[in-house]
Structure 1
Amino acid sequence: MGSFWKSALARKIDRRTRIDNVLLSELGYLLGALVSKGLRPALAQKLVGRCVFFQYLLHRGYLNENELSEQFGASTLHQILSNLDNTYSLFRWIRTTFNGDLFPIEDEVSEREQLGQSADHLAPLADFFGHFNIRDGQGRLFPFRFDAIPVELISSIYEKFVHMSDTDGAPKLGVHYTPINLVDLVLDPLFEGVQANARVLDPACGSGVFLVESLRRLVWLRAQEQALSRELIRETLLHQIRGVDVSPAALSVAAFSLYLAILELDPSPPQGIDALACLRFDPLNDRVLFSTSTFEPGLENRLFPDSVARGFDIIVGNPPWTYSASEKLADRQLARETDEDGDEAEADADENADEPTTSETGSERSGTTYSRLAGLPVPPRSTDWAFLWRCRDLSHTDTRIALVMKATPFFSLAPKTSAARDSVLRAFPNVTLVNLSQLRTSRLFQEYEGGDDDSRRKKRAAGPAMLFLSNCLPSDPASISVVNFPWSSTFNRTGVFELPADPPKVVGLDQLKRRGGLLKAATFGDDRDVWFLDRLTRNSRVSAFDTWCEISDLPAGRGYRAGTTMEAAHLIGLPQANARDVKRGRLPRELPLFEDKRVNRSREPALFKGPLVLLPEGSLTGAPFHGRYTAVFDERDIAYNSSFVGVSFHGRPPELAQAFAAIMHSRLVAYQLALMGGTVGIKQTKIEVVDLENVMLPRLEMLSAADITALANAFDELTVELDVKALARISKSIDHIVESALGLSEIDRNLLLDADRRTRAIFFETEAARRSMEVPPTRPELQIYAENLCLAFNAFASEPDDHVLVPARYTELSHDIVVMKFMLTLKSEATFQVIVPGELDELDDAPIHALGGTDLPYLKPAKTLRLYVGQAVYILKPSQYRCFSPAAGQSDADRIVADLMNPTFPISEVAVA
């Protein structure tokens, strides 16, 4: 990322005050004002759509003021809107001239009745196009110019308001907003090297933002082969673009957006009102846009009725993520109907497989029903996965697919979801997952932002996003690629994506099936993190938490769940604990007594017998050491609720329970939870039961009696108020005992050196925690990075005449880039060196010239480069701590080894990787 965006000058720049967001806000107030006058939202949307389209024509120069006066009785739009007859004369002209599906007048009499046969209800429209703010009534010094607003923005504007429409009787089916920067990010890999005749489908097109930009790119590709013409543009639209959506209101906006696109692309725009007839639009409904369910049986026959080949070349979209309980209930009813029909339904299905066998119609079929009938695994509450599965039916072998999906199912450790993830990753070729979840709280999906009292204000954070790509990047069939877009301090203000510095991580499918948490480790960590965590499962000195409790014969499980279905006699009279009671690993001595006679899940009595160690789902901020997990020790019998996982040490020495609690405070545990936990850092600050079950812990027999005593004493010290230095000393002693019990090597322990810093950045969604990974590295941190790189590289050198790396120099090429120089030398001649700062002119000329000279025109500040010049190895990376952590150093060493061992790597004076 450029240093400008991090400078004091740029801090005042905020995309919320960009003209598009100002316009967005004003249109929100405009629609609200029209509805408040008694108009139905559907009509309000149509009125605004027609007027914006007309203003677009006017600002583009298709019409002039004299023609307006002659045709519609006034020279400006806001004057026309002050007279109802003139207004509808304008609307009828739009319908006659342009035809198509452009917010048509379906019933003028009904519309006029809603308007009270008067232009008074149109006053907000007239004010808006008369250059007044709707919110406060103030005049605008700089009126909106619709010719300068990108077509995609207009599409996005309306996308945010389609949910107000009641034309389909179901506002909940309204579309959601896909920002333009995300559209470009999604489409770039899809269109890399694609053929000009590619056919594009958006199976949940909403207002058509993906279709608009796809059309523009296809037209550009075709114009490289033949002259650009109006006919070519329209032919591309009619024959290569398809969109499907269940919402007619959304499709009306999609049609509007596509019409604007073909006007914008037109190479010879006509001038004058009489010449506009040549722009007459073709109807798009049931030709380009289809108002039906994506899961309609035989839909592919409708999409391309005259084509033998049914598969699309590109499938792209942002399908709905929102879970629909009514959809689930409807599917259960359909399933019951099918069961009741019995053999008769089965016979009908055999006779005509494309026809539904229940009372549903094909155009209403839900993704839930489609998945059930097809026997396809879908994670709970994940409607978008059905769309992904449906893509297979509409694709061919080489189809490129890009869907913006909910991220949480991909990271979940729940068995059912893990199995579904494994199935889908194996079902599609060349899969790449692009994680966008770290931008969740940075307005990746911009919600409507009105005033403080605006009832339409949405929550600050949207759901975590994952971009699923198939056939876009090459990949081994037995693995997937993973890319992570890191949190950036500037994205919230600018909306500019910061490309990840390192190449995509590659993770084997069998690896993921064996231990699903490695997907998150590859996403949020480095290659060495994945390797370490994978090896940790095979370490004979450790066991997973659930196995650890089983072999130690310790009852463990969640606490009771409130309700009335089961008796709770064994809990009555016990001190009652909630997660909010936790403080520094202890519970208050004074707790209310449990009084409820019944609960939903009472659990077995043994779970509540003390001594107890309670593991909270939340309460990460209550940990003694910020950035680590916390555990509670209490000698009493406690009635704890389901926000805890409890481990009972009843009949065992309390010292053993305290030692276990201390282990749960170790950096190793926090590191595992952060890099493998299914929701923490992705959706919420919460540790789930399944996350704890997968944590690897040192087996009890690996701990000596002295270790257990030392751990118990350390825990006691942690639970009292201590200064930072004392906490660090105690934490260090716990870490030493735990890591020694596991037999970790020096290089593995080094991975955990900055574990607290890295886990804080994942555990907490605060700017302070995450910014610590973005700040420039200090000289001591660069030294640690260099030591870890050399340590990892030199581990491959077993003979005296093998080459090793030693650090030499580092310098800053700019405020954004750090370059580090290492020297290859014989192991027998190597001497350790402290890396020291230098100046640019101290570096060899060769790497500078290889990058294009001292101006460095080819150096992209968000990428990593490795340069090989004789015996020198240069590493150039963004000046961010995340690029110079110990794990990054070890991973870079592996990349250097891979470069040097690759037989295709160029052997020359200067080589760039």
Structure 2
Amino acid sequence: MVQNTDFRRYLTSLSYSEEEIAAGLLDETTFSYTVDTEGRLTVKYIFTPTANDIYLEHRSLWNMNRDNVFIAVTDQQSHIINVKEKPDAARPLKNAICLRTFEYGVNSLGFEEIVPSEISKQYIDSAFFFDFVAKNQRKGQEVDKDLLLNLLQLKSDLISDSNEEMIHLLILRCIFIKYLEDRGIFETDYLINILKSLDAKQLVAAFNEIKKINGDVFKYDSFKVTDIKQEYLKQLALFFETDYRSGQHFLFPYQFDRIPIQLISHVYEAFLKDNSKKRKGIYYTPSFLVDFMLNQLFNGEDNIPLADARCLDAAVGSGAFLVECFKRIQASFGRPLSFDEKKKILETQLFGIDIDQKALQITAFSLYLALLETEDPNFIKNEIIHAHPILPSLIGSTLMSANAITDEVFKGQTFDYIISNPPWGSVPKVEDAQDEQEINNILKERKAIANKGKGDGIYAHVADFERSQAFLVRFQEWAGASTRIAAVVKNSIFLNDNARDFRSYLLDTYALEKFFELSHYNKILFKKKNIGEIKGQAVELGASEPCAVVILKQLPANASEISTTYISPKLSIFAENFSVIHFTARDCFQIAQSNLKNQDAYWKILVNGDLDTFKVIEKLSLQCDLTVEARAGFQPKANMLSLGEPDWKPIAEPTDFKQFDVLKADNLPVFNWNQGLHRRREFDIFQGIRLVIPVRPLKSDKFLFRGAIAYDDIIYKHNMITIKLKDGKDYISDYLPYLAIINSKLIGFLFYQLSIQWGKGEGKRDSIRNVDLEKLPLKRISDPTLAKQLSNLVSKIQIAIRGGQNPIIEIDELDELVFEHYGLLDYERQVIKEFYQMNVDRADAPLNKVTASDLNVYFNAFVKAFQLVLAEGTVLSATYNISGNMGALICMRLSQQNEAEPFRQGEDKHIINFVKSGQLNKAEALKILEEEKVKIYDKEHIYLIKSNQFKDWTPRQAVVDAREEIQQYIKHLA
């Protein structure tokens, strides 16, 4: 065993003070350094003298699924261990597990003056450590996904045609016993010894023991000994003794007393949902999103005492939200609660609804684990021995099996908090139902919701039979004047044109406190991903839709203007690896709720733009002189039947042309037009002068339309769109100048912001729709000189492209002419140019990080805008600093012209570290990393600290920041 003094010496050499060591030295072998004030974002240093010790600590932390890494310290070395990678007893330091090794340990001599950078205190404080982890940590197989795969494999091995329900129940009960065993309520190997006996009577007897403590897990079904075959016991024994899928006979990888209850519940919910016959993906609400939503809901701004709060989840699933509510309510007392006090919370404060009885069993199971989590094992043992029913029965009282859309449930009751992840998507059609019960539910829902205002009274504004809209409406039934609501729903209900009436209704009914548009977070939220295979069949986890989180309250009577906080965070490496919602000042807006209602375009524009973007698009949208007709090509089908003699037509694909191209029939393949097509088109859309664009934009298009002009009769499939333009009743005859406008930065920018799909989620959803194209504000070119200039530029660009040249100068000139045509001011043009800078020129790492040159350009733009309030002879001077990990700073001061200093790097990097450590303080606790703009004033200086991302330091942002300072200056004078 390492001596306490050796470990202290080691930590001291990493710059930890005696006070910090005293606060974090939990025992002789573990030191936890807490970065945040909530005590959740920690770095653990653990003395692990042998490879097996490293494995055991790794296994323990992997099961807990909270830490990303820990530092394993031996006598002569230190290792950064990737906790997210599955532990390997045979190779505990393999490459995927060990991110880095340092040649220093607790007993090394002569290293005291050398500080290993990544694991030293100062680098952890400055976020360097977390940046290193984010860049080097490969996502491994986390405990929940690994456990799910093993359970699905076990189920696959056990299930036959008629025993699925019994197998589900058998596995659930065994997991509950294993949890109690890991808690020390049963002796070690209690379950495995029963299973290896191959005696079904012993297993049934164990189940009967658990029945003594009552509850709903063992209540509804009973086993006959004859139901449990020896083969089931053999496979269950393998599952609970080995790494089941790999067949490696080392330690069972799971520790159910360490796996968070949320994860156990999530896994079992997904396990029950999986049915390979339905070919549907399985998903559950990620734990960090559960925590994030609860943090938004319980924000301390209300007068509702959390200790007395009644909480409802109307689509309860595995009970993840209720489990977290249970923990928060307990914590609000500020003291440990007795068992009876905790039981009373379950019986009187936590309520759930689900149409699936199995889901309620999982919720009850989850809540029981949460109830027992902190209880002394001896107390539970005693209750089992004396046959006391200590677990309350919840199903039928607080947990109700019902359809929350159509059934009367908890009628007349109101709740202080409602939190839910309601079903996404439209009510299925009857032909998609699996059984009679599902048919009845579908018929009830379709009758209640109907479509386009034809449903029941409360659902009159719900569009497209959309369930999540219906849930948001139904929450009114259970909401009082002070009720706060948090829900995660698919984002399309705030984008689709069909749902516009619903959005208006929602804003007339609720105060929308916060709206988190999480399109860019789909990768770590609900994106479908293949997590493994079972008998050659892929297991997909996740949904396909991006989501949004809404925080609502009932709209007060005679309410004055309500402000909504709209946040559209962009996924950063830090956010991806540490599972937080990470946003900067550029991603957060305050907007009047009335504006959201009256100007529906805000919902689309703020996903990727800002309030200035909205103003520019509002100006552009008023300049619509031409009518746009847009038609997609035909849709073929398999096994098309000939309708007579072949009619061969040249056919084009998007790969057959480039931007500004002339699409010609020469050298194109041909297609028999005289066949039975799935979706035929009138042939005139393929004739005459017209513009064509691909339906799916590519990254190589750089957020521009790839428009070409066609004169010949050429057909194409539904992956291309024809655009024809009308001036009044007549089609225009000269398309060349309009080809310039279609391919300009202005139109690409405008359409990307207003599109319902392009840029509103995963790339596979990106598409250009006819209905959106027909709303394009194309302005008539009345000036013959402008028409000629644009046509000449298009011709020059076409010649240059055909010659293999890059016509940058001509394209820039074309864009400026289009800006002029639409009457854009310099600042408005800068909004569009900045969009392309951020999304094309500087989109990818490392170019998305700010540089010293960028800060110099920013400062010059700031000075130009600020010059108005400077006294004659007074100038601004500035220094800068950039952190490679998180944050950048400009320090400005007023000086006389003869004392002005050149823009240079300063000595104030410690201020960045101070500000960023404060922002990290709440990152893990609140599941938000908010890199807001911070200003610090002293007698001589203004310190401006923002992220180190280029998007926060553009010339346009300099103008915004300068105007803000001018307003502050004028306010100070007043």
| More moved, 591-600 vs 137-146 | 591-600
Give a deviation string over 1:17-38, Cα, whole Å, max 9, x none: 3334333332232222222x66
Q: Is the 8 A contact 2:449 2:465 kept in 1?
A: no
Q: Is the 8 A contact 2:692 2:723 kept in 1?
A: yes
Match of 1:29 in 2: 153
Aligned in 2, Cα 1:275/1:600: closer, same or farther, shift over 3 Å? closer
Give a deviation string over 1:839-889, Cα, whole Å, max 9, x none: 22499xxx7899699999899773321223346432101111232234443
Match of 2:396 in 1: 286
Aligned in 2, Cα 1:421/1:237: closer, same or farther, shift over 3 Å? same
Out of 875, 885, 892, the residue aligned to residue 822 of structure 1 is 892
Match of 1:316 in 2: 419
Aligned in 2, Cα 1:502/1:750: closer, same or farther, shift over 3 Å? closer
Per-residue deviation, 1:154 = 1.0
Counterpart CA distance in 1 for 2:522 and 2:136 is: 22
Q: Helix, strand or coil: the match of 1:161?
A: helix
How many residue pairs get aligned? The number is 821
Give a deviation string over 1:716-743, Cα, whole Å, max 9, x none: 24653635xx243232122111112223
Q: Which aligned pairs between 1:679-758 and structure 2 lie closer than 5 A?
A: 679-683=757-761, 684-701=765-782, 704-717=786-799, 719-720=801-802, 722-723=804-805, 726-758=806-838
Match of 1:60 in 2: 183
Aligned in 2, Cα 1:653/1:533: closer, same or farther, shift over 3 Å? closer
Per-residue deviation, 1:498 = 2.4
Q: Percent identity between the aligned chains?
A: 22
Match of 1:505 in 2: 589
| More moved, 178-187 vs 444-453 | 444-453
Aligned in 2, Cα 1:190/1:81: closer, same or farther, shift over 3 Å? farther
Per-residue deviation, 1:585 = 4.5
Letter in 2 for 1:220: A
Q: Is the 8 A contact 1:25 1:448 kept in 2?
A: no
Match of 2:500 in 1: 418
Q: Is the 8 A contact 1:507 1:519 kept in 2?
A: no
Matched, 1:179 2:286: yes
| More moved, 499-508 vs 286-295 | 499-508
Counterpart CA distance in 2 for 1:188 and 1:648 is: 51
* TM superposition score normalised by structure 1: 0.79
Per-residue deviation, 1:529 = 2.1
Q: Is the 8 A contact 2:509 2:554 kept in 1?
A: no
Match of 1:590 in 2: 667
Counterpart CA distance in 2 for 1:865 and 1:528 is: 21
Q: Which aligned pairs between 1:746-825 and structure 2 lie closer than 5 A?
A: 746-760=826-840, 771=845, 775-791=848-864, 797=868, 806=876, 808-812=878-882, 815-823=885-893
Give a deviation string over 1:638-673, Cα, whole Å, max 9, x none: 334444332347999999322222222211122122
Counterpart CA distance in 2 for 1:852 and 1:239 is: 42
Match of 2:87 in 1: none
Out of 116, 120, 142, the residue aligned to residue 18 of structure 1 is 142
Aligned in 2, Cα 1:823/1:186: closer, same or farther, shift over 3 Å? same
Match of 2:248 in 1: 138
Aligned in 2, Cα 1:849/1:870: closer, same or farther, shift over 3 Å? farther
Q: Helix, strand or coil: the match of 1:696?
A: coil
Give a deviation string over 1:187-217, Cα, whole Å, max 9, x none: 1011112522111111111010011101111
Letter in 1 for 2:176: F
Aligned in 2, Cα 1:367/1:699: closer, same or farther, shift over 3 Å? same
Counterpart CA distance in 1 for 2:803 and 2:319 is: 58
Counterpart CA distance in 2 for 1:289 and 1:174 is: 26
Counterpart CA distance in 2 for 1:752 and 1:157 is: 46
Letter in 2 for 1:310: Q
Q: Which aligned pairs between 1:245-394 and structure 2 lie closer than 5 A?
A: 245-266=354-375, 270=379, 272=381, 274-275=384-385, 277-278=387-388, 280-301=390-411, 310-326=413-429, 372-374=455-457, 375-380=459-464, 382-394=466-478
Match of 1:610 in 2: 688
* TM superposition score normalised by structure 2: 0.75
| More moved, 704-713 vs 859-868 | 859-868
Per-residue deviation, 1:812 = 2.6
Q: Is the 8 A contact 1:620 1:629 kept in 2?
A: no
Counterpart CA distance in 2 for 1:637 and 1:833 is: 68
Match of 1:877 in 2: 946
Out of 736, 755, 765, the residue aligned to residue 658 of structure 1 is 736
Out of 891, 897, 907, the residue aligned to residue 840 of structure 1 is 907
Q: Which aligned pairs between 1:236-251 and structure 2 lie closer than 5 A?
A: 236-251=345-360
Q: Helix, strand or coil: the match of 2:156?
A: helix
Q: Which aligned pairs between 1:120-199 and structure 2 lie closer than 5 A?
A: 120-130=231-241, 132-141=242-251, 143-164=253-274, 176-193=283-300, 194-195=304-305, 196-199=307-310
Q: Is the 8 A contact 1:786 1:807 kept in 2?
A: no
Give a deviation string over 1:145-194, Cα, whole Å, max 9, x none: 2111111111111121121479xxx9799974111111001110111125
Structure 1 vs Structure 2 CA RMSD:
4.4
Matched, 1:4 2:4: no
Aligned in 2, Cα 1:579/1:705: closer, same or farther, shift over 3 Å? closer
Give a deviation string over 1:590-620, Cα, whole Å, max 9, x none: 3325523666766666543322111322143
Counterpart CA distance in 1 for 2:838 and 2:747 is: 13
Counterpart CA distance in 2 for 1:851 and 1:20 is: 35
Counterpart CA distance in 2 for 1:741 and 1:399 is: 51
Aligned in 2, Cα 1:679/1:708: closer, same or farther, shift over 3 Å? same
Match of 1:667 in 2: 745
Q: Is the 8 A contact 2:605 2:754 kept in 1?
A: yes
Aligned in 2, Cα 1:833/1:248: closer, same or farther, shift over 3 Å? farther
Aligned in 2, Cα 1:529/1:787: closer, same or farther, shift over 3 Å? farther
Question: Could you list the runs of 5+ residues in structure 1 that have no partner in the other structure?
Answer: 69-73, 302-308, 334-357, 762-767, 908-913
| More moved, 697-706 vs 852-861 | 852-861
Counterpart CA distance in 2 for 1:289 and 1:856 is: 38
Out of 667, 690, 706, the residue aligned to residue 630 of structure 1 is 706
Per-residue deviation, 1:808 = 1.8
Match of 2:600 in 1: 516
| More moved, 496-505 vs 24-33 | 496-505
Letter in 2 for 1:672: L
Q: Is the 8 A contact 2:321 2:420 kept in 1?
A: yes
Match of 1:43 in 2: 166
Counterpart CA distance in 2 for 1:424 and 1:806 is: 49
Q: Which aligned pairs between 1:427-506 and structure 2 lie closer than 5 A?
A: 427-442=509-524, 444=526, 449-451=531-533, 454-458=536-540, 462-471=544-553, 477-502=561-586, 504-506=588-590
Per-residue deviation, 1:777 = 0.9
Out of 851, 863, 882, the residue aligned to residue 932 of structure 2 is 863
Per-residue deviation, 1:80 = 5.6
Aligned in 2, Cα 1:824/1:364: closer, same or farther, shift over 3 Å? same
Counterpart CA distance in 1 for 2:327 and 2:800 is: 62
Q: Is the 8 A contact 2:243 2:253 kept in 1?
A: no
